[in-house]
Structure 1
Amino acid sequence: MDDIDPIAIVTGAGRGIGRAVAVRLSREGYKLALTSRNESELRETADLCQGETMVIPADITSAEAIETLFDSVEDAWGAAEVLVANAGSGFAAPIHKTTDAQWASMLDLNLTAPFRCIRRAVPNMVAAKRGRIVVVASVAAKQGEPYISAYTASKHGILGVVRSAAAELAKTGVTVNAVCPGYVDTPMTAQTVSEIVSRTGRTADDARSALEAKQANGRLVTADEVADAVWACVANGAINGQGINVDGGGLQS
């Protein structure tokens, strides 16, 4: 990964983990193609990055949008050497109240969209004999937790894709890994806190404390700590097929 101005694509780059990953990659000399639904958030991320960026607002659950994303990057700069598939979301509901639409929404965003991005990125990476694919998954990719059956299924699924792709590509110079955070201090966790407040009547502080208490080190993970793990997967070609836990030590593997 020693070319001048290497190229990376980061999905879900408007805030939280995606923003931290984009900033980290920019500091390491990467040109950044940033995508999410929210253009204003993407531009805020771009302003924080060093070097050249490209802002491409898109709904990553659209197969056509993924093609446009990659085509735009390749037309302007060339093929990406790094893909960080970070876009994702979650929701909580008892399994008997989880609707087909909610189930499909989780699989579309957390499983099918990153699979499509990986599928689109791989041919050029294999042709170049090098590439790094990192999916931001979750500790929910490895263990179940009440009320998040659809989210957990989607994250288990994408970890399976990562492991299979890594085995398939191991001799090509392309690595595929997942980073599996616990509760991270991001807008997504803030949404989880709001849902707990709405469902239980607890205060926001109590709800946040409950999430902190779920982690072995008693605090939320920072977005920068997740970005550091993503960077390790990018920088080290011997890391492949892994689901790297970033949760303060709660889930040991």
Structure 2
Amino acid sequence: MEEVEVVVAHRERATLRVGEVFLKVDADPARTEVEVAAMALAPVSTPRVLWRRTPVLALAAVPGTALGRLGEPSTTPPGAWAAAGAAVRRLHDAPLPPWPGPDLDDIASNLDRQCEWLTAHDVLPADLVARNREVAGAALREWTPVFTHGDLQSSHVFVHGDEVTGVIDWSEASQGDALFDLAILTLGHEEHLEAVVEGYGSPVDLDVVRGWWSWRSLTAVQWLLGHGFDPFAPGCEVDVLAARR
């Protein structure tokens, strides 16, 4: 008999695995609608939709293993990271999805709010927050929008050898900054950035990538703490911020 595995669970959503089927339960049906629409448009391998009955989306498992996981050393070979970069480039070269992405003013305002919260509640040293706020500023500029995944963590990219076999979790997909995707893919795995950029195949402003690393880590800490995750775990968000000192 198949067992039920809780992949992730918090107040906003939960994902369960039963054999080769993933059941995603989301409190916001709009996120599920985006996920289904984005997978239909994306020019890369995505999970097959089995059925949908709000608030549950059933997806088939994709083959392969995760490219990496935040907080864990990645043993995946450089060729797989390069293949991931090439897959991201195919996505970014595709026609834009018909829905917009985050507004730059909102992105900047969110950063300011989170930095204020982190210092006001003594969650992180003020100098660490200030330094990373400065680094994050490089990302806060106008960009030409592309089709972005929006939450392209290394654990959302599956590979077999040097081949990408699937990309999962598309609920944040939208028009956005190409370098944001590259930054989230390599968050906590800075040593693989060169291989990703090589596979991506075009010049990348590394200061912007580093800016998005700082932005993502600064803006994630409060949410992570409030939903039962530990950004202070080795190799996770706080260590990413400390590396920018």
The bucket for the TM-score relative to the shorter chain is under 0.3
Q: What TM-score, normalized by structure 2, do the two folds share?
A: 0.23
More helix by share: 1
More strand by share: 2
Q: What TM-score, normalized by structure 1, do the two folds share?
A: 0.23
